[in-house]
Structure 1
């Protein structure tokens, strides 16, 4: 079938939306030179243009021409192209030639200011951007510290690298308008300033006198992020309206970046303080034995989780009435993962430290801890744990008094490579009012190892198929190959084998089988009894 295609005219409201959304100014006049249409971009570029009124300058002086004409109007460089558009109408198309560098500037500002979460690096980026695009020298001053000192960063156009330093807050107040800017006042004295009032220290040596000075606040998240000072040398043109718009755009973006970086640094500091006590301790030196531990949290972003271990050493000079006790090592696993589980693990570790002031028997400690967990307001305060009191014996032997509460029992690596499972057993903590415990004492000859581990090791899913559990037998076989190893190398090797197993094969589930993993080993004898390898 053949036929003619009928032209479809867009709806008037669609045409109006297209015109208003255009970045190019569009003005249409009738045969009498009266404006009949002007979009938002045209009104911004030529403020006097208005429907119903004659076309204002400079439109009325631009004849129709394909290439158009470049004119300066209101401090802007405009390319104006005029065309006849039926019924004796004229259309003017206006392009802001100042917009191209401004767009380039904003894109570069966004890229460089978002590249760091360090406040001083954000300040350096802001000064470098200003010196590249807006001025000859730029100085960012950060809010005063508790000691009433202000950090500053300065960049100079054409010089490599910014300068940094600090100065007293009272000295910074010598800069005109800076006090208001640092207070975040956008409509106070901040803005263009008398360059003659700039103190000598503000500009670098050899810069010469400032011809123009602009001081602006850096808006932050509720509080000012600082202030920026822009200086041009004498002889340069002053900061025009476009320059000031670009400077304010930079100040807003720099303030947001510095504020976000400061908030990140503050939160990181708080996080480090709060998690410091949740991380495993460094292994102490204990006469007659060697200790080593490894902890791998399932959520590596936090480096903490529900698995934990700790070492409690006896007081060197206990007070009267305090029960003398041997060194105690613990390894446990609380219900859950991540930060919430790590908080519960920290509470358990601190509770044990307190209970050790009153009790030294491992079974009794677990009973008291169980009562504490039952009274906890936190839901699901369930914990599995191993407590091991360490005592030296004649012949460089180590006696390990074990109490196990719902946890996989420790493994013992004998000198001939045999691996045994300790017979200690017991109930989960935090679930029942009365728990059952079956403690045992292990005798480690020199070079023999007692390994405490969490079920994140044996229940790791991976292997060739990616869906097979590592299991206790593989752990025993791996432990048997570690005869004679230094204890630090032993736990590192076992942790590495577990990690490789979790790597899985082609069918591995990236999120499956991931759990916190903990290893803690005690080896009888000193470093002299370890075999070199």
Structure 2
């Protein structure tokens, strides 16, 4: 039970209203709130009361004499915190819409200009061509650029950009601010943008007509903590994407150059639609006396793990070619290299040496457990190269057999991986493309240029698979150009 003396001394405003709405009494806190002891005319009993930028929730207590005591609880700070929490949630959602650093900086500047300041500058740590900077005025679109500026001219900015030691927000005297930062403002606050273990930059807030309050600066720090995480996440993602792209480019088969006496063409398709690299590979290396060393292979497995092993094999072959070009010695050395590095991933491969001769091209072919190459004569006859061998990277010693063929003008030699012949598809979706079907298709390819040949084989396999799953596919064609009439 509330006594008369207790409610009068309560720090919480309280007033007594009779049945017709007339005020019969106020405690001291209410009198302070309503000096003239008159309620706002727009206030309806039971609703919140708004007085001098403060908001009070009205709570009713019924008295025995029929009057009502209204207790007014100040909820301004609670409502502000709720509004800010909702705003921070909205900001966080907007900040996570992009993993592009430039776009993310623009979003940070737009949000800050809309809710925190009249003008905003977001500045990131320097790169080779200056500081990335986004400037935004309230109601305008942000502008992004890179500038070479002296951050030491702004107190606390260089520390914020380094991210260490941790620094608080700094209030900057506008009169001492450099021209590149701002002009015509009355208040400047520099707030660090903390990131994922790395500095994301700094948020500079500027106002033209009024000073920032400490409460507003504290809220700006909360926003900056979320903005910094978003910017650093975008930067780290971009860095990883660049690294991945560079590494991937090194793992992809090379672009084959043109030669006067030899036509070369290759096609590669990784196993998954989202994969760019896999376990199939081919390379062409130049040797003395206009000779070419070609290699095509298939690493056990697929995806990134197989691609990593592919990179090791290609590097090993390139290094071995500096000291040995004999096929048998090359494959034995490669076998030993794989045994000492990764016994769990064997490979199948076929290597060849191509040398121009008067008749066309002399080609030596040696298989290391791989499908033998196919010879397509100009008249459409298809021959299987007489080469075979054991898998590379499993046994201490391997056995190989080398075949030598001469490609007359219009003849071709096709090296391919089992991703072509073992491609599942067809009318029912569960039939392999197979060696026989490949041979029949090649019989119509006599005299084709190397580029047309690999494109045709690749197209047939892709059509056979359709939208189904498939293994890595690699095709390499060597062709003797048709001689032009003299």
What TM-score results when the alignment is normalised by the length of structure 2?
Answer: 0.83
Query: Aligned partners of 1:81, 1:192: CA distance in 2, in Å?
Result: 39
> Alpha-carbon deviation of 1:228?
1.0
* Correspondence for 2:317: 352
- SS class of match (1:67): coil
Q: Once the two structures are superposed, what CA deviation does each residue of 1:62-112 show, in whole Å capped at 9, x if it has no partner?
A: 887233322456xxx536243347998867684755467646643553344
> Alpha-carbon deviation of 1:266?
2.5
* Correspondence for 1:106: 88
Query: Aligned partners of 1:113, 1:68: CA distance in 2, in Å?
Result: 34
* Correspondence for 1:366: 331
Preserved CA contact (<8 Å) 2:316 2:334: yes
* Correspondence for 2:404: 441
Q: 1:327 to 1:187 in 2, by over 3 A?
A: closer
**Aligned residue runs from structure 1 range 412-427, under 5 A:** 412-427=375-390
Query: Aligned partners of 1:309, 1:57: CA distance in 2, in Å?
Result: 87
Preserved CA contact (<8 Å) 1:142 1:225: yes
Structure 2 segments unaligned to the other structure (5+ residues):
13-26
- SS class of match (1:428): coil
- Could you tell me which of 117, 122, 126 is aligned with 1:135? 117
* Correspondence for 2:50: 70
**Aligned residue runs from structure 1 range 225-264, under 5 A:** 225-233=200-208, 235=209, 237-240=210-213, 243-264=216-237
CA RMSD of aligned residues (A): 3.5
- SS class of match (1:495): helix
Preserved CA contact (<8 Å) 2:109 2:134: yes
Moved more, 56-65 or 299-308: 56-65
- SS class of match (1:247): helix
> Alpha-carbon deviation of 1:449?
1.7
Query: Aligned partners of 2:83, 2:427: CA distance in 1, in Å?
Result: 57
Query: Aligned partners of 1:436, 1:332: CA distance in 2, in Å?
Result: 17
Preserved CA contact (<8 Å) 2:109 2:142: no
* Correspondence for 1:290: 263
**Aligned residue runs from structure 1 range 24-43, under 5 A:** 33=7
- Could you tell me which of 142, 145, 148 is aligned with 1:164? 145
Query: Aligned partners of 1:465, 1:59: CA distance in 2, in Å?
Result: 87
Query: Aligned partners of 1:332, 1:58: CA distance in 2, in Å?
Result: 91
- SS class of match (1:500): helix
* Structure 1 position 452 matched with structure 2 position 415: yes
Preserved CA contact (<8 Å) 2:110 2:141: no
Query: Aligned partners of 2:484, 2:111: CA distance in 1, in Å?
Result: 61
Preserved CA contact (<8 Å) 2:291 2:356: no
* Correspondence for 2:20: none
Preserved CA contact (<8 Å) 1:294 1:491: yes
Q: Once the two structures are superposed, what CA deviation does each residue of 1:174-231 show, in whole Å capped at 9, x if it has no partner?
A: 123323332436974623332222212112xxxx511111110000122321101011
Preserved CA contact (<8 Å) 1:308 1:331: yes
Query: Aligned partners of 1:485, 1:174: CA distance in 2, in Å?
Result: 69
* Correspondence for 1:202: 181
Q: 1:420 to 1:194 in 2, by over 3 A?
A: same
* Correspondence for 2:193: 218
Preserved CA contact (<8 Å) 1:64 1:83: no
> Alpha-carbon deviation of 1:59?
12
Query: Aligned partners of 1:214, 1:133: CA distance in 2, in Å?
Result: 15
Q: 1:241 to 1:435 in 2, by over 3 A?
A: same
Preserved CA contact (<8 Å) 2:58 2:70: no
* Correspondence for 2:342: 378
Q: Once the two structures are superposed, what CA deviation does each residue of 1:46-67 show, in whole Å capped at 9, x if it has no partner?
A: xxxxxxxx99779987887233
Query: Aligned partners of 1:291, 1:57: CA distance in 2, in Å?
Result: 94
Query: Aligned partners of 2:383, 2:364: CA distance in 1, in Å?
Result: 16
* Structure 1 position 280 matched with structure 2 position 249: no
> Alpha-carbon deviation of 1:280?
1.2
Preserved CA contact (<8 Å) 1:131 1:155: yes
- Equivalent pairs, count: 457
Query: Aligned partners of 2:46, 2:61: CA distance in 1, in Å?
Result: 11
- SS class of match (1:400): strand
Preserved CA contact (<8 Å) 2:290 2:356: no
Structure 1 segments unaligned to the other structure (5+ residues):
1-27, 39-53, 316-323, 505-509
Q: Once the two structures are superposed, what CA deviation does each residue of 1:372-393 show, in whole Å capped at 9, x if it has no partner?
A: 222x232313110010111112
* Correspondence for 2:18: none
Q: 1:264 to 1:103 in 2, by over 3 A?
A: same
- Could you tell me which of 472, 480, 487 is aligned with 2:443? 480
Preserved CA contact (<8 Å) 2:377 2:447: no
Moved more, 410-419 or 188-197: 188-197
Query: Aligned partners of 1:35, 1:308: CA distance in 2, in Å?
Result: 87
> Alpha-carbon deviation of 1:296?
1.5
